[in-house]
């Protein structure tokens, strides 16, 4: 039930990502509600969830990325695993470090994607290297409290089992 609820949440954020954010783009670059929200959620969960959610979010984003299928999946899994490791050392309540961590992760993802596209001879939007992390920081500030509330929902919360 927990995984189904998380999957439905991913679908909701993907839907909002593809319908709302293109209207709010800056220099043809828009942040990702899905990556930002789930990146913040990764800071509050473990590696198992990071792998599972990274896989799901990556495949969902790859469906709308026309050039290199699988690149979003690989990057989301790796970055979400790193974010879950970072989240083990954080204290709840401070939003600066989580927002900064997710923004840096988005910047790394954007850099790797633009470099990969450049290797294949596809010209990318180089303004995105500056815009995406800043956009993600703004989204992270707005989404931090809803993400904390989401992680406290009894269905989503992981209970200890002995």
Q: Which of 11-20, 120-129, 130-139 has the lowest mean pLDDT?
A: 120-129
Helix (H) or strand (E) holding 32: none
Q: Higher model confidence: residue 161 or residue 122? A: 122
What is the model's pTM?
0.84
Check pLDDT > 60 for residue 110.
yes
CA 146 to CA 50: how far, in whole Å? 19
Question: Which DSSP string corresponds to 84-107?
Answer: HHHHTTPPTT--HHHHHHHHHHHH
Check pLDDT > 80 for residue 140.
yes
| Contacts for 105 with CB less than 8 Å, ≥ 6 apart | 35, 39, 79, 82, 83
Per the prediction, the chain carries an average pLDDT of 82
User: Could you tell me the pLDDT band of residue 92, with boundaries at 50, 70 and 90?
Assistant: low
User: Could you tell me the pLDDT band of residue 64, with boundaries at 50, 70 and 90?
Assistant: confident
User: Could you tell me the pLDDT band of residue 160, with boundaries at 50, 70 and 90?
Assistant: low
């Amino acid at each position: 039930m927990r995984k189904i609820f998380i999957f439905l949440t991913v679908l909701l954020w993907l839907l909002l990502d593809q319908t709302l954010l293109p209207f709010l783009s800056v220099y043809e670059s828009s942040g990702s509600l899905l990556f930002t929200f789930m990146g913040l959620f990764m800071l509050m969960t473990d590696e198992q969830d990071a792998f599972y959610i990274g896989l799901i979010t990556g495949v969902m984003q790859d469906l709308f990325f026309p050039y290199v299928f699988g690149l979003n999946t690989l990057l989301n899994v790796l970055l979400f695993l790193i974010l879950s490791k970072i989240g083990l050392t954080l204290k709840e309540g401070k939003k600066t470090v989580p927002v900064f961590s997710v923004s840096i992760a988005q910047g790394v993802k954007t850099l790797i994607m633009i470099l990969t596209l450049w290797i294949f001879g596809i010209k990318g939007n180089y303004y995105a290297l500056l815009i995406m992390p800043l956009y993600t920081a703004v989204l992270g500030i707005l989404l931090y409290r809803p993400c904390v509330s989401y992680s406290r929902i009894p269905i989503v919360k992981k209970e200890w089992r002995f």
